[in-house]
Amino acid sequence: MAIHLHEGDLPDGLDFGASVAVDSETMGLNPHRDRLCVVQLSAGDGNAHLVRFGKGEYNAPNLKALMANPDVTKIFHYARFDVAVIKKYLGVDTTPIYCTKIASKLVRTYTDRHGLKDLVRELAGVDLNKQQQSSDWGADVISDAQRDYAASDVLYLHAAKEKLDMMLAREGRTELAEAAFRFLPVRAELDLAGFEPMDIFAHS
Ligand code: MN
């Protein structure tokens, strides 16, 4: 397993194949206030690539092209947030999208534990260490602990997706999941437009 750290963009010529796991680290949970600091990527091969952004340095043509590439599925856990942050800071619409949290909610109806830690423990047999979740991702130098944590958030999403896809097929919910994934860019747009606390489908 190797973790590669890049400044400001992915290097030229990196090939992630048909699907890439993606996560982001920010200064906080409000995309309008809290800037994007790191984007993590993995082809599901045990290796991770971390792209670190300095404040205001979001000219990342290779990463933007990957996010927009219609032939590469971007696998997230809670895509709603990452897609909004990527749109806000990189100015790109991520497509196509797979979200392991939505897939989990559609098939793991026997539990209400849909966090990444619980999902990866059950579906990949890996116990994630979330200690660095709340840390200063805007620092000029990413610590080894931060680096390992950031990588672990993308290393097991392919394995989780594989299990979730089998469960979705078994329960007849594959098409429903795909339709929900297609709606994610709209949900992210609503969040950025100020409708984040609101369920626009709710009666009241
Ligand atoms: Mn993360």
Determine the Cα–Cα distance for residues 137 and 150; give it in Å rounded to an integer.
10
Task: Report CA(157)–ligand 1 centroid distance (Å).
Answer: 12
Task: Report CA(23)–ligand 1 centroid distance (Å).
Answer: 6
| pLDDT computed for residue 15 by the predictor | 96
| pLDDT computed for residue 131 by the predictor | 79
| pLDDT computed for residue 51 by the predictor | 98
| pLDDT computed for residue 94 by the predictor | 98
Burial of 168 (0-12, 13-18, 19+ CB in 10 A): buried
Task: Report CA(24)–ligand 1 centroid distance (Å).
Answer: 6
Q: What's the per-residue H, E or C state across the chain?
A: CCEEEEECCCCCCCCCCCEEEEEEEECCCCCCCCCEEEEEEECCCCCEEEEECCCCCCCCHHHHHHHHCCCCEEEECCHHHHHHHHHHHHCCCCCCEEEHHHHHHHHCCCCCCCCHHHHHHHHHCCCCCCCCCCCCCCCCCCCHHHHHHHHHHHHCHHHHHHHHHHHHHHCCCHHHHHHHHHHHHHHHHHHHHHHCCCCCCCCC
Residue 96: closest CA among 191, 178, 39: 178
Residues in the chain, pLDDT under 50: none
Task: Report CA(69)–ligand 1 centroid distance (Å).
Answer: 22
| pLDDT computed for residue 35 by the predictor | 98
Structural tokens at position 152: 């672990």
Task: Report CA(29)–ligand 1 centroid distance (Å).
Answer: 12
Determine the Cα–Cα distance for residues 42 and 48; give it in Å rounded to an integer.
5
Task: Report CA(44)–ligand 1 centroid distance (Å).
Answer: 16
Q: Is 2-195 in CATH node 3.40.1410.10?
A: no
Burial of 179 (0-12, 13-18, 19+ CB in 10 A): exposed
| pLDDT computed for residue 11 by the predictor | 98
Task: Report CA(204)–ligand 1 centroid distance (Å).
Answer: 33
Task: Report CA(101)–ligand 1 centroid distance (Å).
Answer: 13
Task: Report CA(39)–ligand 1 centroid distance (Å).
Answer: 9
Task: Report CA(143)–ligand 1 centroid distance (Å).
Answer: 15
Task: Report CA(99)–ligand 1 centroid distance (Å).
Answer: 14
User: How many CB atoms lie under 10 A from the CB of residue 32?
Assistant: 11
**Where are the domains positioned within the chain?**
2-195
59-111 pLDDT, tens digit each: 999 999 999 999 999 999 999 999 999 999 999 999 999 999 999 999 999 99
Answering whether pTM is above 0.95, one says yes
